[in-house]
Amino acid sequence: MAGAIKGPGIFLAQFAGDDAPFHSLPSITRWAAGLGYRAVQIPTWDRRLFDLDRCAESQTYADEVLGICAEAGVAISELSTHLQGQLVAVNPAYDTAFDAFAPEALRGRPAARQAWAVDQVTKAATAARRLGLAGTVSFTGSLAFPYLYPWPQRPAGLVETAFAELARRWGPILNAYDENGIDIGFELHPGEDVFDGASWERFLSAVAEHPRARINYDPSHFLLQAMDYLAFIDLYHDRISAFHVKDAEFRPDGRQGVYSGYSPWAERAGRFRSLGDGQVDFGAVFSKLTQHGYRGWAVVEWECFLKSPAQGAAEGAPFVQRHLIEVTQQAFDDFAQGKADPAALRAMLGLAECV
């Protein structure tokens, strides 16, 4: 095996703000580099840090962004379109909640909001190409999720209709990514129609196994569903194009389990934690990804109900650094091997006298 996972990187979405050093790309990249991060994942909806429309239109602006990051000492791991991707497909039950993700002028106008989202996610492919990136990360959106655990039972064909519509909406976007030579890694996340391996397979089939449809692997979401997040890598490693390093804990009891009884984050059985404070076996995760040839960035995504973002960010870079694997170029027992010719091999098997 050659190469290794790159890192540490950090997703800037949870840290961007109006106050220094989080209010501009030059200052937030210097902050990240000062903590030991080597890459940043940029939220494309936050104009304090990045102008997606300009980057899609102007190579000059893209070069300016690259220059800012290089001057700070960081690369760009991926562009994120999580919020815009969410708006590509919205069940009406979520209209009010997800309106906040759209520009104010589009709120209360679902069709216009969706058209804007499709345009934004498509522009991210061009912007990523201008920045010399391999891919972006996003969400699929949700049409069927309100019917995940239904009573009464779902009518026949409901899920199939939802995924056919997802494919109709995402197909042209994926084609645009292919034209730009860019992958899009979907984060499999409860609340999205694509949230586990079974729903991923359904989506991938609906988009005709599109080569640009990839996975942003985040083990925290699988741990909170009581899934085997290591076996997931074995099954789908060939589609993993991005990696969110995020921890979580799942502590069910006699009162609540996966659904957590409408409890707030701090009281749920399943909660996101800062790195090292949860239950994800990151030693095994990094080993599995390395074994299967993942060579992209390991990007810290901080979402903790307890620990401050400042502490989480400071602890994240060294945590990832400790888990990066320098891939060996030799077998551990090479020292014990001797040269063998065909005659010696046959003798070892008792075949020397055979004719």
Token couple for 214: 């990839």
The pLDDT of residue 1 is: 42
Q: Count CB neighbours of 9 within 10 A.
A: 30
Q: Which helix (H) or strand (E) holds 213?
A: strand 213-217
CA Rg, the chain, in Å? 23
Mean pLDDT, rounded, for 306-331: 93
Predicted TM-score (pTM) of the model is 0.94
As given in the structure block, the two tokens for residue 48 are 């304090």
- pLDDT tens for 146-187 read 999 999 999 999 999 999 999 999 999 999 999 999 999 999
| pLDDT value for 355 | 54
pLDDT for 337 equals 73
Q: What is the DSSP letter of 142?
A: B
CA dist., res. 186 & res. 163, Å (int): 15
pLDDT at 2 over 50: no
Q: Which two tokens stand for residue 166?
A: 């997802």
Q: How far apart are CA 48 and CA 16, in angstroms?
A: 8
Going along the chain from its start, the domains and CATH numbers come out as: 6-348 (3.20.20.150)
Average pLDDT over residues 71-86: 98
